[in-house]
Structure formats: C-alpha cells, structure tokens
Amino acid sequence: MPRLSAQDRKAALLKRQEEIANQLKQLNARERETERKLDTRRKVIAGALALEHLAKNPDSEFGKTLFRLLDEYVDRRARPLFPFLPPFEEPPPE
C-alpha cells in the first residue's frame, strides 16, 4: 500500500477532527436537552408540591406567601391557571 503524502495525511486528520467536533457538538446538545428536561421536571414537581400545600394549608405562612407571590407576579394571560386568584387588576399609571 502506498504511503500517503503529508498533505493527504493532513487532509484525512482534519476530516477526522471535524467528525469528532461534530460528535462532541451532538453529545453536548443531548446533555443540554437532558438537563433542560430535568430542570423542567424539578420545577413541575416543586410547583405541584407548593400548590398542594397551599390548597391544604392556606393559612400557613408558606401558603400566605405563595398566594401573595402568585397574586403579584402572575400576569393576565396565566391567571386562568390559578382560579383561586382574584381577577387581574392593571397597576395604576405612574
């Protein structure tokens, strides 16, 4: 088998380097996607626990704080997701 020229070897190595770089990009993208899904799952579980606590213990300090935060920060579009909140009121103009 004839030996490859230095230029051919360099081209082959650069091609291999590009293939490895693409594989690393794919692995990193999969890792980011997995972490994003885990983060979403954590938030859903924590939110469900917080809402369940609020439903069972509305007069607890945590329940009052959660209610106040939801009332303060939930915007008009998301408000129907929380039927226990009072209707949205526009803040007065400053």
Q: Is residue 47 very low, low, confident or very high in pLDDT (cuts 50, 70, 90)?
A: very high
Span 9-21, pLDDT tens digits:
999 999 999 999 9
Structure tokens at 14: 């650069």
For residue 90, the model assigns a pLDDT of: 72
Span 21-35, pLDDT tens digits:
999 999 999 999 999
**Model confidence at 61: pLDDT above 70:** yes
Single-letter amino acid, residue 61: E
Domain ranges of the chain: 8-81
CA dist 27 and 18 (Å) reads 14
